[in-house]
């Protein structure tokens, strides 16, 4: 078998396809680079690693495009990568170049999945990986993803939550923390997961004869439920849990419709007191530590 001619033909055909069929660029790229990678892998077994350098020089000379050794090695790496993972032609080869750098197979599958679901650009994907989104998921959530079991709204809330403090304000109170979050509310909602919508801050409710204010009031459209968020600049305390339970019960009684799921609560605090959460009676309440970036 003439591996070089096969590789050359694959690359030429791909360039032609990309020019006349714009809609199929991704599919053509992925198929071509997979096939080229496979041929390079087989050629390497027959002729040794040095064959890539030889092919690189010939392809660059004959096709007038820089097919460096690194480029060809990435095609081979992509072939081996594709064998172990389910790929989508909704993502570009550049997406997979980014994801291929990861070592954890489950993290790879996660980033492929959310890149497709959220139609992420390469830059957005890079930011998620940089911020260690998969690593900050709860271990139970990771198990659910691996076993393909039903997920809940609380499963994708990261721990810790990263809060971008662009103005470098000193966080000395809940009011300051709330203001920082509101400066870029879309980023904060993404930290919580998918489907979160902002209803309001300092949301007023009347309990008995007094008014109370929910720090952040949200709704999740995917899981059809209200979300109460309380902000604390101290470690988690028992009274924080009792307070948010009161707010959740109020929302369930006065706002929630029978077609909606029960309200969940999120306490964002300086440190996550796992002992208290471990023995908290209401599984709808989550405590999450926040980290400034």
Cα-to-chain-centroid distance, residue 130: 10
- Are 41 and 179 part of one and the same domain? no
Q: Got the DSSP string for the chain?
A: --HHHHHHHHHHHHHHHHHH-GGGHHHHHHHHHHHHHHHHHHHHHHH-TTHHHHHHHHHHHHHSS---HHHHHHHHHHHHHHHHS---TTS-HHHHHHHTT---HHHHHHHHHHHHHTT--HHHHHHHHHTTTTTTS-HHHHHHHHHT----GGGG--SSEEE--TT-----SHHHHHHHHHHTHHHHHHHH-SSEEEEEEEEEEEETTEEEEEEEEEEETTTTEEEEEEE-SSB--HHHHHHHHHHHHHHHHHT--TTSPPPEEEEEESB--HHHHHT-S-TTEEEEEEEE-
Based on the fold, state whether residues 34 and 82 are members of the same structural domain.
Answer: yes
Residue 232's CATH number: 3.40.1350.10
Q: Is residue 140 part of a domain?
A: no
In the sheet with 210-220, reading across from the earlier edge strand, the strands are: 161-163, 285-292, 264-269, 225-231, 210-220, 196-207
- 273 domain-assigned: yes
Q: Which residues pair with 229 in a beta bridge?
A: 216, 266
Exposure string (b/e) for 112-126, b if CB count within 10 Å is 16 or more?
bebbeeeebeeeebe
Instruction: Tell me, yes or no, whether 159 and 274 share the same domain.
Output: yes
Same domain, 285 and 184: yes
Residues 31 and 87 in one domain: yes
Domain membership flag for residue 223? yes
Regarding whether 287 and 149 lie in a shared domain, the answer is: yes
Same domain, 28 and 157: no
Per-residue tens of pLDDT for the chain, all 293 residues: 788 899 999 998 888 877 665 556 788 899 999 999 999 999 999 999 999 999 999 999 999 888 999 999 999 999 999 999 999 989 999 999 999 999 999 999 999 999 998 899 999 999 999 999 999 998 889 999 988 888 888 888 888 888 888 778 788 789 999 999 999 999 899 888 888 999 999 999 999 889 999 999 999 998 899 999 999 988 888 888 889 999 999 999 999 999 999 999 999 887 654 555 555 556 777 778 777 77
The parent domain of residue 12 ranges over 3-130
Shared-domain flag, residues 69 and 157: no
Residues 113 and 19 in one domain: yes
- 135 within a domain of the structure (yes/no): no
For residues 15 and 84, state if they share a domain.
yes
Rounded Cα gap, residues 273 and 286, in angstroms: 11
Which value, to the nearest 10 degrees, does the dihedral of the CA atoms of residues 83, 84, 85, 91 take? -50
Flag whether 136 is in a domain. Answer: no
Task: Identify the domain boundary among 104, 130, 156.
Answer: 130
Total domain count for the chain? 2
Kindly state whether residues 287 and 156 are assigned to the same domain. Answer: yes
User: Both 123 and 163 in a single domain?
Assistant: no
Residue 139 lies in a domain: no
* Structural domain includes residue 283: yes
Domain boundary among 71, 104, 130: 130
């Amino acid at each position: 078998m003439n591996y070089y001619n096969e590789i050359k033909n694959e690359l030429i055909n791909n360039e032609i396809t990309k020019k006349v069929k714009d809609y199929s660029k991704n599919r053509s790229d992925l198929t071509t680079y997979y096939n080229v990678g496979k041929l390079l892998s087989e050629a390497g077994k027959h002729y040794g690693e040095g064959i890539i350098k030889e092919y690189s020089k010939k392809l660059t000379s004959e096709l007038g495009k820089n097919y460096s050794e690194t480029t060809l090695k990435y095609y081979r790496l992509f072939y081996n990568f594709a064998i172990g993972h389910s790929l989508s032609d909704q993502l570009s080869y550049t997406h997979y170049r980014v994801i291929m750098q990861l070592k954890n197979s489950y993290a790879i599958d996660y980033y492929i999945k959310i890149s497709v679901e959220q139609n992420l650009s390469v830059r957005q994907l890079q930011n998620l990986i940089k911020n260690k989104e998969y690593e900050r998921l709860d271990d139970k959530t990771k198990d659910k993803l691996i076993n393909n079991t039903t997920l809940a709204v609380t499963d994708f809330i990261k721990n810790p939550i990263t809060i971008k403090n662009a103005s470098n304000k000193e966080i000395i109170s809940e009011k300051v923390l709330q203001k920082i979050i509101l400066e870029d509310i879309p980023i904060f909602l993404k930290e919580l997961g998918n489907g979160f919508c902002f209803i309001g801050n300092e949301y007023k409710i009347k309990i008995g004869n007094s008014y109370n204010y929910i720090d952040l009031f949200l709704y999740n459209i995917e899981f059809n439920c209200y979300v109460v968020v309380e902000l604390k600049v101290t470690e988690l305390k028992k009274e924080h849990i009792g307070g948010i339970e009161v707010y959740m019960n109020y929302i369930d009684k006065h706002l929630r419709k029978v077609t909606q799921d029960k309200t969940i609560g999120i306490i964002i605090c300086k440190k996550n007191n796992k002992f208290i959460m471990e023995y908290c009676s209401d599984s709808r309440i989550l405590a999450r530590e926040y980290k400034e970036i």
